[in-house]
Structures are given as C-alpha cells and as structure tokens.
Amino acid sequence: MKMFEDLQATGFKGSYRTLCDFIQECRAAEDDEQSKGFERLSHPPGEAQLDFGTMEAVQDGEILDVHALIMSFPASNTGFAVPMPGENLGCFLSGLKQLFQQAGGVPISILINNLTPAVKKVRKGDKEEELIDAFRHFQHYYGFKVQVCNPSKGNEKGHVERKVGYVRYNFFSTPPVIKDFDDLREQLEQQLKKDRQRVHYKKEELIEDLWLEEQQQVLKLPEEPYPVFKQFAIDFNKYNELKLDQHLIHVPRARNYVKLYCIAYWDSFKVITNEGEIIFFDARPYMKKRRFILWKDILKDWLKKPRVVGHFRYTPYLPARIQEYLKVPSKPLSY
C-alpha cells in the first residue's frame, strides 16, 4: 500500500488493482521459463514406492501407535503393508524384508522420500543425496535401485501417499484389536490380498490379474535374507543399567563382567558376554509403549446414553464377559 501511495505522489493515475495486476504479470514473465504444472509420469512394471504412515491399534485394552511401512506398485495399483513399532533403521530394514517376502520378490527400483533411516544427506544444488551406509549395503544385497524425491517434493511419490491414506481409511478407521505385531501383520496381509480382487480404477481389469503380470518383472529373492541387527559394546552405570531407546534398563550383576555387548533387533535385544553367553534378553522398550483408553470418561457417557453401548466404537475393546454383561437388556421393575 505504501508503494501505491508513493507512486500516486509521482503522478501515477492507475488504481491499486491495476498496480497489483501489473506486478503479477511481471512475476509471471520472470517465471515463464519454468512450468508450474505437473508432468504426468509413467510407471513401468516392477517399480515401487515406499512410505510410512502412522495408525492406531488396540492391544490388551490400550491404544498402540503403529508405524505402517507401505509399499505400492503404481503399474498395477497393488499395495503391501507391514506394521512396525517405530521408524528407526532396524524397523525400516526389517519392514522392507517382510514386504519383499509378501510380494514374492524385490522391486527393480524403489522411490522414497528423504526418510531419516535411509538418507544421510539430502540432495542440494548439484550434489546428489547420500544414503546411510547400512541402507546402501542392504540395497546392494537385494539388488534394487533407489530413487530419492527432491526435497519438499512428496508429490513425486503420490501413489504411495494415496495408498497410505487408503489403508488408513479402510483398515484403521476403527483401530483393530490385535494380539501383537505378528497378528496385525497377518491381518493386513490378508486384507490387502483380498483387496486385489477389485477392478483397477483406470485399466478396468482385476488388480490381482495385473499384479500377476507385474510380478514377473520383480527381482528374485536371495536364498538367505539379509541379517538386520546392530551390535555395540555397553557402558553400564554404577546401578547396572544400560541406556537403550532413551530408557534405562537394569541388567543384574552386569558390572561383574569385564565387557558386555548388546545385540539389538527391531523388536528385541540381548546382552551377551565376550564368549557369546546370553545373560539378558527382552523386548525393545518401544514395544511396550502404549496409551490408556480413558474408560472413566467413556463410562460416564454410557451412564447418560446406555443405548449406545452395543454400537460404541470402544465396546469391542472390553473383555468379552463385560461386553456380554453390558449388552443384557434392562427389565423395568414392577411393584
């Protein structure tokens, strides 16, 4: 506005709107060489896209955050998903191994964004991205190529982003009840296998038939899966505690040993001696991380609206005997 007033002082006769239009035209002329539209990309068979999506499940009556690693094949619109407790390197590589098993092979190429467990340095200027060494070794072992999206250009992997939303809204709209991650993985695998019986949105063929054709293009799985674990020496404090996943874990009599090592997998860890003797084994701390369902507030609402008990979203999370008791119809008292 100040610019407009200054121009008027010099004798400018146009309106404020005219000035705004003039500025926009100048900017458009400067950007004329760069297209603002998107290019329609082709998706050769055997190429995949990968991303994480955060969902919720219920285990033992408590809410569990699930980081679903989802791999999609745009050529056939086929998707695979495995639930993981986090998005660290161990979960990422172990999840990829499980996805390859479900797909029955390895994609020729995988498109990812700048995932922390995969990319050490993002692409900047004329310098290409730099992958984390452990992921690079994993890639060479399975033989697939890696394509990394440009920074802040998540739309380049739009197919898997839509697949993440599809999985979330179709299979996690109500958090499923699970026994553990293995149970949820089996549920997801069966649901996505069943989902392939629908017709492709554009090609008017069953997704299952398209996938059987595309599956011929994927790479063969190696005879032995890649071992995913991290081994490191442990420094215990004076209370015989080690720090793992930002948690202090007590290992009895740990300081009685000269040197101990931790071998960490995606879901568990063990403490071993120099001779390989296992002196401690447990689940990773984040495997036990859950949130309470606010039953106190929910039950207060049920007192006011007893008829909703049979249809409420939290009812399936109650023990079977309590569900049965609450669903017994109340009979009016007669005097």
Q: Where are the domains of the chain?
A: 1-33, 47-217, 230-288, 294-326
In this structure, whether the domain defined by 47-217 belongs to CATH 3.30.420.10 is answered with yes
Any idea how long the chain is?
335
Q: What are phi and psi of 63, to 5 degrees?
A: -80, 135
Reduced to 3 states (helix: H, G, I; strand: E, B; else coil), residue 76 is: coil
pLDDT of residue 297: 80
pLDDT of residue 76: 94
pLDDT of residue 17: 60
pLDDT of residue 206: 94
Ranges of the chain with pLDDT below 50? 4, 38, 335
pTM: 0.80
CA–CA dist 233, 251 (Å, integer): 14
pLDDT of residue 25: 64
DSSP 318: S
Nearest Cα residue to 330 out of 300, 309, 316 = 309
From the CB of residue 197, how many other CB atoms can be counted at a distance below 10 Å?
10
